[in-house]
Structure 1
Amino acid sequence: MCMDCSIKKLDKELREIFDLYLNQKTDIECFRDSVLESTRQAFIPTLGETRIPANDVTLFDHSFSTASLYKTQLARAVLKNEIPSTEKWRVFGIFWNGARFMSQARKAADALNRQEIINEIKKELKHHFEIKYPIGNTIFEDTDSIFFTFPAFGKSEDLAKECMLKAVDIIRAESNGDLWPVCALSQERRSPAVIAEMMEFFETRKGIDKESAILYIQNEKNKFEPKNSLDINNPLLESEIPDRNGQYDICPVCRIRVKKEKDDACGVCLERRRGRIEKWVDNRNNTETIWVNEAADENNRVALISIEFGIKEWLNGKWLQSQWVQTIQDWIDNLRNSPKKLKNIENSILKNKGIVKNDISELNVVNTIKLLEVIATKPNEKESQKKDAFFTFFNKGEAPEGQKLTDSIEDIENRTTIIGEKQYKLFNYLFNKHPSPARLRRVWTETQDFITTVQNNIHEQINQIPATRLILKTKSSNLPKNLPLPPTWNAVEINGLNPARFQIVQINDTYFATITNLSEFEYRSGTTNEVLRGLEAVKKAVENSDKLKIVNEEDRKEQKPYHIQINNIEPEQYTPAITLLKSPYKFQMLVPAFSVPQVLKIITSLYDKWFSKVYGKLPLNVSVLAANKKFPLYVLLGSASKMLNNHDGFNKLYEMEPYWNVNDSGSDPYYGYYPTDDGVSPEKLAPIKDGEMFYLSPGWFDFDFLGGTADRGRIFYGNGEKPARESIRYGWKKPRPYKFHQIKDMLRLHDILGGLSRTQVNGIEQALISKLESWEYPEYPDRNKVFNEFAKAVIIDAFTPKKWNEISPENRSFVENVIDSGLLVDTIQLYNHVIKVKIGGEEDE
Structure 2
Amino acid sequence: MSKDLNILAENRDALLLAEVAAWLHDMGKCRDEHIDNVSQCPSSKNEKYDYKRDYVNSLNIDTNFLNEQISFEYEKIVTIKELIEKGKPRSSNKPNEKWLIRALGRCHASAHIEKEEAPKEYKQKNDNTWISTPFGYEYEKIKKLNSRLENIPFDKVKKREIIIKSIKDTFVHALGETRRPINEITLDDWSGIVAALYKSSLAGLLLGHKIDNPNFLKWRFLSVRLNSEKIWGESSSIPILLARKEWMETGLDNLKHLLEKTYPLGNEVYRDENGSVFVVPYIEESEFNKALKDLIIETMPYDGEIQVHPTIQDESWWGQYYDRKSPEENKVPRISSIISGDIPSISANPNNVEKWWEGKRCSICTVSHLRPADSRSSNRNISDYWLKKVTGRAKEWKRQQESTIWIDEVADSNGKICLLVGKLEISCWLKKDGYIETLLVKLPERDSPEIKKTPSFARISRVWRTTKKFWEEVKTNDLDKYRIDKRIKVFVEFKPEESNKIQINNSYEAVSEDDIRFTIFYAGNNEYIIIENLELIAKKIKSKYKNSDKKAHELIKEYLRGQNLKIYDPDGKKRDKPLGSLQVSDIIFEDANYVPVIPILAEPSIFMAIVPADKALDIGRMIKKKYEEEMGKVRNRLPLTLGMVFAKSHTPISSLMDAGRRMLKNTSTVQKWKVRSVNDEEPCASGYMFRTLEFENGTKWKVPVTMRDGQTKDIWYPYFYFGDNEDSKPESREKSFKGPDGWLVHASEIEKGDVLRILPSTFDFEFLDSSSRRFEVYYDDEGKRWDKTKSSRPYLLEELDEFDKIWSIVGPKKLNRSQLKKIMYLLETKREEWPVEDKENVQVFRNYASDVLRNANWKQAKPENEDFDKIVNAAVTEKLKDVIELYMDILKISENEQEDNGGI
* Bin of the TM-score, shorter chain as denominator length: 0.7 to 0.9
- Maintained 8 Å contact 1:104/1:254: no
CA displacement at 1:511 relative to structure 2: 1.6
> 2:557 is paired with a residue of what secondary structure?
helix
In the alignment, is residue 577 of structure 1 matched against residue 597 of structure 2?
Answer: yes
- Maintained 8 Å contact 2:221/2:313: yes
Q: 1:745 to 1:169 in 2, by over 3 A?
A: farther
In the alignment, is residue 749 of structure 1 matched against residue 863 of structure 2?
Answer: no
1:139-288 correspondence to structure 2 within 5 Å:
139-155=269-285, 157-173=286-302, 177-178=305-306, 180-189=308-317, 190=319, 193-203=333-343, 205=344, 208-210=345-347, 232-240=349-357, 242-243=359-360, 246=361, 248-259=362-373, 263-284=380-401, 287-288=402-403
CA displacement at 1:315 relative to structure 2: 0.9
- Maintained 8 Å contact 2:806/2:871: yes
Write out per-residue CA displacement over residues 140-197 of structure 1, whole angstroms, 9 at most, x where no aligned residue.
1101021111212443x54443332222223323x65235434241411225541111
Which residue in the other structure is 1:705 paired with? 767
1:532-571 correspondence to structure 2 within 5 Å:
534-545=552-563, 547-553=564-570, 554=572, 555-571=574-590
Which residue in the other structure is 1:327 paired with? 443
- Maintained 8 Å contact 2:220/2:279: yes
Q: Quick one: distance in 1 between partners of 2:240 and 2:504?
A: 13
1:787 aligned residue (832, 845, 848): 845
Q: Quick one: distance in 1 between partners of 2:575 and 2:629?
A: 50
- Maintained 8 Å contact 1:193/1:440: no
Q: 1:11 to 1:707 in 2, by over 3 A?
A: closer
Which residue in the other structure is 2:530 paired with? 514
2:652 aligned residue (632, 640, 643): 632
Amino acid across the alignment from 2:770: G
> 1:440 is paired with a residue of what secondary structure?
helix
Q: Quick one: distance in 2 between partners of 1:489 and 1:801?
A: 46
2:716 aligned residue (661, 666, 670): 670
- Maintained 8 Å contact 1:523/1:532: no
Q: Quick one: distance in 2 between partners of 1:12 and 1:3?
A: 12
Q: 1:239 to 1:65 in 2, by over 3 A?
A: closer
Q: 1:258 to 1:181 in 2, by over 3 A?
A: farther
CA displacement at 1:612 relative to structure 2: 0.9
Q: Quick one: distance in 1 between partners of 2:149 and 2:784?
A: 58
Write out per-residue CA displacement over residues 583-629 of structure 1, whole angstroms, 9 at most, x where no aligned residue.
22212111111111111111111111211111111111111111111
In the alignment, is residue 93 of structure 1 matched against residue 213 of structure 2?
Answer: no
> 1:550 is paired with a residue of what secondary structure?
strand
- Maintained 8 Å contact 1:831/1:839: no
Which residue in the other structure is 2:15 paired with? none
Which residue in the other structure is 2:259 paired with? 129
Q: Quick one: distance in 1 between partners of 2:671 and 2:351?
A: 46
Q: 1:200 to 1:476 in 2, by over 3 A?
A: closer
CA displacement at 1:437 relative to structure 2: 1.7
Which residue in the other structure is 2:756 paired with? 694
CA displacement at 1:781 relative to structure 2: 4.1
Which residue in the other structure is 1:385 paired with? none
> 2:601 is paired with a residue of what secondary structure?
strand
Amino acid across the alignment from 2:783: P
> 1:631 is paired with a residue of what secondary structure?
coil
Write out per-residue CA displacement over residues 118-149 of structure 1, whole angstroms, 9 at most, x where no aligned residue.
32222212111122222222221101021111
Q: What runs of 5+ residues in structure 2 fail to find an aligned partner?
A: 1-29, 34-142, 320-330, 675-694, 707-712, 727-738, 900-904
Which residue in the other structure is 1:603 paired with? 623
Which residue in the other structure is 2:42 paired with? none
Q: Quick one: distance in 2 between partners of 1:526 and 1:290?
A: 29
Amino acid across the alignment from 1:541: Y
CA displacement at 1:95 relative to structure 2: 0.7
CA RMSD after TM alignment:
3.4
Write out per-residue CA displacement over residues 552-571 of structure 1, whole angstroms, 9 at most, x where no aligned residue.
44342325423344234223
- Maintained 8 Å contact 2:567/2:578: no
Amino acid across the alignment from 2:506: P
- Maintained 8 Å contact 1:94/1:182: yes
Q: Quick one: distance in 1 between partners of 2:797 and 2:854?
A: 28
Which residue in the other structure is 2:151 paired with? 13
Which residue in the other structure is 1:347 paired with? none
Q: Quick one: distance in 2 between partners of 1:842 and 1:62?
A: 49
Write out per-residue CA displacement over residues 265-287 of structure 1, whole angstroms, 9 at most, x where no aligned residue.
22222222111111111111xx3
- Maintained 8 Å contact 2:230/2:346: no
Which residue in the other structure is 2:88 paired with? none
> 2:466 is paired with a residue of what secondary structure?
helix
- Maintained 8 Å contact 2:156/2:162: no
- Please, which moves more after superposition, 259-268 or 589-598? 259-268
Q: Quick one: distance in 1 between partners of 2:148 and 2:442?
A: 34
Amino acid across the alignment from 2:427: K
Q: Quick one: distance in 2 between partners of 1:525 and 1:800?
A: 29
Write out per-residue CA displacement over residues 607-655 of structure 1, whole angstroms, 9 at most, x where no aligned residue.
112111111111111111111111111122122222242x6xx253222
Q: Quick one: distance in 2 between partners of 1:756 and 1:49?
A: 57
In the alignment, is residue 489 of structure 1 matched against residue 508 of structure 2?
Answer: yes
Q: Quick one: distance in 2 between partners of 1:728 and 1:527?
A: 44
Write out per-residue CA displacement over residues 415-439 of structure 1, whole angstroms, 9 at most, x where no aligned residue.
xxxxxxxxxxxx6xx6111111221
- Please, which moves more after superposition, 315-324 or 748-757? 748-757
Q: 1:764 to 1:528 in 2, by over 3 A?
A: closer
Which residue in the other structure is 1:740 paired with? 797
Which residue in the other structure is 2:786 paired with? 726
Q: Quick one: distance in 2 between partners of 1:322 and 1:726?
A: 34
> 2:422 is paired with a residue of what secondary structure?
strand
Q: Quick one: distance in 2 between partners of 1:524 and 1:825?
A: 32
1:348-497 correspondence to structure 2 within 5 Å:
360=446, 431-463=451-483, 466=484, 468-474=486-492, 483-484=502-503, 486-494=505-513
- Maintained 8 Å contact 2:391/2:506: no
Q: Quick one: distance in 2 between partners of 1:291 and 1:275?
A: 14
Q: 1:653 to 1:69 in 2, by over 3 A?
A: farther
- Maintained 8 Å contact 1:72/1:150: yes
Amino acid across the alignment from 1:664: P
> 2:441 is paired with a residue of what secondary structure?
coil
In the alignment, is residue 290 of structure 1 matched against residue 405 of structure 2?
Answer: yes
Q: What runs of 5+ residues in structure 1 fail to find an aligned partner?
A: 22-27, 212-231, 333-359, 361-388, 394-426
- Maintained 8 Å contact 2:419/2:644: yes
- Maintained 8 Å contact 1:302/1:593: yes
- Maintained 8 Å contact 1:295/1:592: yes
Q: Quick one: distance in 1 between partners of 2:194 and 2:234?
A: 39
Alignment size in residue pairs:
690
Q: 1:682 to 1:596 in 2, by over 3 A?
A: closer
Q: Quick one: distance in 2 between partners of 1:127 and 1:46?
A: 27
| TM-score of the superposed pair, with normalisation by structure 1 | 0.75
Amino acid across the alignment from 1:669: I
Q: Quick one: distance in 1 between partners of 2:773 and 2:333?
A: 40
- Maintained 8 Å contact 2:435/2:740: no
- Maintained 8 Å contact 1:758/1:841: no
Q: 1:529 to 1:699 in 2, by over 3 A?
A: closer
Which residue in the other structure is 1:407 paired with? none
- Maintained 8 Å contact 2:511/2:566: yes
- Maintained 8 Å contact 2:424/2:640: yes
Q: 1:660 to 1:799 in 2, by over 3 A?
A: farther
Amino acid across the alignment from 1:585: S
> 1:259 is paired with a residue of what secondary structure?
coil
Structure (1/2) with the larger helix percentage: 1
Amino acid across the alignment from 2:786: E
Which residue in the other structure is 1:50 paired with? 178
Amino acid across the alignment from 1:768: L
> 1:591 is paired with a residue of what secondary structure?
strand
2:414 aligned residue (280, 299, 314): 299
Write out per-residue CA displacement over residues 499-535 of structure 1, whole angstroms, 9 at most, x where no aligned residue.
5232211111232101222212354799999685732
